[in-house]
Amino acid sequence: MRIATWNVNSLTARLPRVEEWLGYARPDVLCMQETKQADAAFPHGAFEALGYESAHHGDGRWNGVAILSRVGLADVATGLGSSDDDEGTRLIAADCGGVRVLSAYVPNGRALDDPHYPAKLAWLARLRDLLDETTSPDRPVAVCGDFNVAPEDRDVWDPGEFAGMTHVSPPERAALAALESWGLVDAFRQRYPDDRLFSWWDYRGGSFHRHRGMRIDLILVTEVLARNTTFALIDRQARKGEKPSDHTPVFIDTTVD
DNA sequence: ATGGTGGCCCGGCCA
């Protein structure tokens, strides 16, 4: 089972690239973030034509998350399940081929002294609570998405340039580690302990070609999936060419016992 | 230190 995640930075702008990628990568499940669409605008038909069921949670201009699946799509749930954090359309979950799949778009945080920064930490803490309330680390669970946190210094091109900035601060990394301590493994990092590969590059300043990126798009899986993971890839190809997203897809191949 | 680019939608906001 191939499970993928991709922050598409507007599905309206990116649909041709997403269709192209589905055509050659053929994931069984694709989690998308930042569709920037309302539910009524989501192109279910375009994905159905490629063999995918789809579920979307978005309210228009900002954020928006989706799950595509060609191995079943059931028990869809949206939001964090708490009144203060449901706004923002940043989470959707579904059962796909025996796996509880979550597509998450973690708040950016903006800056360490911005009110959005503690909100980001709270969002991550709330996500862990949601896992506790809705599933178990003994089951096949894949939490996929744009976490807006680089887990370690090797996940950024130059840690020195990030001093005092978001995505690398100790509280953010601690919040991510607390989420993982629920019973999740960073599937790409487990398979490639030493690789310094990135999933996002700023559009500005030729960052992609200068290898100035970060690995912030993650697939976090429970042990029953981690032990069966046979392959993991960050597909840099999708960051090239015409009208790319600033993120590129990440996927793993695993099986459900 | 600033601004660089791209998406929203058409003046800033957000990343």
Q: What is the mean pLDDT of residues A104-111?
A: 96
| Closest nucleotide to A11: CA versus each C1' | B7
pLDDT of residue A238: 97
Hits for CB < 7 Å against strand B across A residues 83-142: 107-108, 110, 116
The answer on pLDDT for A85 being more than 60 is no
Nucleic strand B within 7 A of Cβ A165: no
Which pLDDT band, with edges at 50, 70 and 90, does A161 fall under? very high
| Closest nucleotide to A245: CA versus each C1' | B6
Tokens of A150: 């680089």
Q: What is the mean pLDDT of residues A225-230?
A: 98
Burial (CB < 10 A; 0-12, 13-18, 19+), residue A138, is exposed
Nucleic strand B within 7 A of Cβ A204: yes
Closest of A250, A252, A245 to residue A14, by C-alpha: A245
pLDDT of residue A176: 98
Tokens of A193: 């302990």
Mean pLDDT of chain A: 96
Closest of A125, A133, A105, A111 to residue A218, by C-alpha: A105
* Backbone CA torsion sign across A87, A89, A95, A100: negative
Q: What is the mean pLDDT of residues A43-62?
A: 96
pLDDT of residue A82: 67
Nucleic strand B within 7 A of Cβ A13: yes
| Closest nucleotide to A62: CA versus each C1' | B8
| pTM, rounded to two decimals | 0.97
pLDDT tens track for A135-150: 999 999 999 999 999 9
pLDDT of residue A124: 97
Q: What is the mean pLDDT of residues A179-197?
A: 97
A85 among known catalytic residues: no
Distance between the alpha carbon (CA) of A202 and the C1' atom of B6, Å: 10
pLDDT of residue A36: 97
CATH of the domain at A32: 3.60.10.10
Nucleic strand B within 7 A of Cβ A36: yes
Which pLDDT band, with edges at 50, 70 and 90, does A42 fall under? very high
Euclidean distance between CA atoms A224 and A236, whole angstroms? 28
* Exposure string over A109-125, b if 16+ CB within 10 A, otherwise e: beeeeeeebeebbbbbe
A146 among known catalytic residues: yes
Q: What is the separation, in whole angstroms, between the first and last Cα of chain A? A: 11
Q: What is the mean pLDDT of residues A107-133?
A: 96
Q: What is the mean pLDDT of residues A162-183?
A: 97
Nucleic strand B within 7 A of Cβ A145: no
Distance between the alpha carbon (CA) of A96 and the C1' atom of B2, Å: 47
Nucleic strand B within 7 A of Cβ A203: yes
User: Which residues span the domain enclosing A122?
Assistant: 2-253
Count of the separate structural domains present in chain A? 1
